[in-house]
Amino acid sequence: MATILVTGGAGYIGSHTIVDLIDHGFEVISIDNFSNSNKQVFEGIKKITNQSVINYNIDLTNLDDTRKVFINHTKIDGIIHFAAFKAVGESVEKPLEYYHNNMNSLINILKCVDEFSVPHFVFSSSCTVYGNPDEACVTEQTPQQPAASPYGYTKQIGERIIEDFVHINPNKKAILLRYFNPVGAHPSALIGELPIGKPMNLVPAITQTAIGKLPKMLVYGNDYDTRDGSCVRDYIHVCDIARAHTLAIEYLIKEKNQSNIEVFNLGTGNGVTVLEAINSFEQVNDLKLNYEIGPRRAGDVVAIYANNNLAKEKLGWQTKYNINDMMQSAWKWELHLKESNH
């Protein structure tokens, strides 16, 4: 049974990926210092999988602490590296924090990959690496424009660091997964997105407004050159994203890769506007949402969605959930949070 280290294991995508890995027979170790997540997530994982996951509460920007995990676990077959600060808007306000955290944690993990001979590495990248692309539908070969935010730039630099690293370490294999907009929650409603403080992403802002945690929500701009003036995104269910990580690790372990670094877009292939997403939420959950149109937000890309043919063809990946499923599961999760807080 292969052992996979998941950094950021208590995070939104990390926790769903741990569940998928366990469901497919992997042993999992986690590193998460809860700077942007909650310890209770591991209780949810245990209820779903009947397994307790070992988590190391350490800061990956500290190399000595990071090395201790590898000293304790001498046989790690692969790493899925999620741990990073991830809010586009916040990164514009706090660029140094983002560069310090996201770059140093990646560099330290790669130093350990090198020192402890870990063969397989999967990196949590993002569609923000494309910047404001000339075409809204992007393939893995779409030329990258300057990143629209420091967060996006940490992903561009991160990809480059990994490329340079595997170039001089031909026995190391890496996959870069560029995700679009992960939303929704596990069908059990036992784990989901848990933003700390004010939500920076659309769907938690929708569900928190609908349940009354927020008085109303803002749509950032309705004067973009799109169908209804709001930004276009490729929303994808978090369980579909999680599944792709397990498939990526299996792909590397089975030596199906054609080069020692490969890139895959993870999106549904459908562009949905912010207003269409709100409309889907209202319809599927039979609710009216209190929202208003505000000004544009710095760092936002106008329109982007994935061409996902490569992931389908090479990883054998299929998306299972549509926008209505995403909105339904997100609302179920919000309701579960409300019940568990009473």
Domain range summary for the chain, segments of one domain joined by +: 3-183+236-267
Measured between alpha carbons, how far is 102 from 61 in angstroms, rounded to an integer?
8
Burial of 290 (0-12, 13-18, 19+ CB in 10 A): exposed
Query: 156-165, 297-306, 311-320, 326-335: which has the minimum mean pLDDT?
Result: 297-306
CB atoms within 10 A of CB 77: 17
Mean pLDDT score, 81-97: 94
* Cβ 3 vs Cβ 75: under 8 Å: yes
194 has pLDDT over 70: yes
Q: What is the pLDDT of residues 104-134, one digit of tens each?
A: 999 999 999 999 999 999 999 999 999 989 9
Measured between alpha carbons, how far is 122 from 116 in angstroms, rounded to an integer?
16
Mean predicted lDDT score pLDDT of the chain: 96
- What's residue 213's pLDDT? 95
220 belongs to the catalytic site: no
Q: What is the pLDDT of residues 283-323, one digit of tens each?
A: 999 999 999 999 999 888 899 999 999 999 999 999 999 99
Mean pLDDT score, 4-31: 98
CB atoms within 10 A of CB 332: 18
β-pairing, 272-273 vs 232-233, is antiparallel
Measured between alpha carbons, how far is 105 from 63 in angstroms, rounded to an integer?
8
- What's residue 298's pLDDT? 84
Confidence of residue 342 (pLDDT cuts 50, 70, 90): low
- Cα angle: 131, vertex 134, 139; to 5 degrees: 75
Measured between alpha carbons, how far is 49 from 26 in angstroms, rounded to an integer?
12
* Cβ 186 vs Cβ 239: under 8 Å: yes
Query: 132-136, 143-147, 153-157, 177-181: which has the minimum mean pLDDT?
Result: 132-136
Name the active-site residue from 151, 179, 251, 305. Answer: 151
- Three-state helix/strand/coil letters over the chain: CCEEEEECCCCHHHHHHHHHHHHCCCEEEEECCCCCCCCCHHHHHHHHHCCCCEEECCCCCCHHHHHHHHHHCCCCCEEEECCCCCCHHHHHHCHHHHHHHHHHHHHHHHHHHHHCCCCEEEEEEEHHHHCCCCCCEECCCCCCCCCCCHHHHHHHHHHHHHHHHHHHCCCCEEEEEEECEEECCCCCCCCCCCCCCCCCCHHHHHHHHHHCCCCCEEEECCCCCCCCCCCEECEEEHHHHHHHHHHHHHHHHCCCCCCCEEEEEECCCCCEEHHHHHHHHHHHHCCCCCEEEECCCCCCCCECEECCHHHHHHHCCCCCCCHHHHHHHHHHHHHHHHHHCC
Measuring CA to CA, which residue among 181, 179, 182, 183 is closest to residue 334? 183
Mean pLDDT score, 126-155: 94
Measured between alpha carbons, how far is 329 from 185 in angstroms, rounded to an integer?
5
Confidence of residue 341 (pLDDT cuts 50, 70, 90): confident
Q: What is the pLDDT of residues 236-290, one digit of tens each?
A: 999 999 999 999 999 999 999 999 999 999 999 999 999 999 999 999 999 999 9
Mean pLDDT score, 130-151: 94
Q: At what angle do helices 274-285 and 202-211 cross, to 10 degrees?
A: 40
Does domain 3-183+236-267 match CATH 3.40.50.720?
yes
- Residues 145-174 as b/e (b if ≥16 CB within 10 A, e otherwise) read eebbbbbbbbbbbbbeebeebbeebeebbb
- What's residue 198's pLDDT? 84
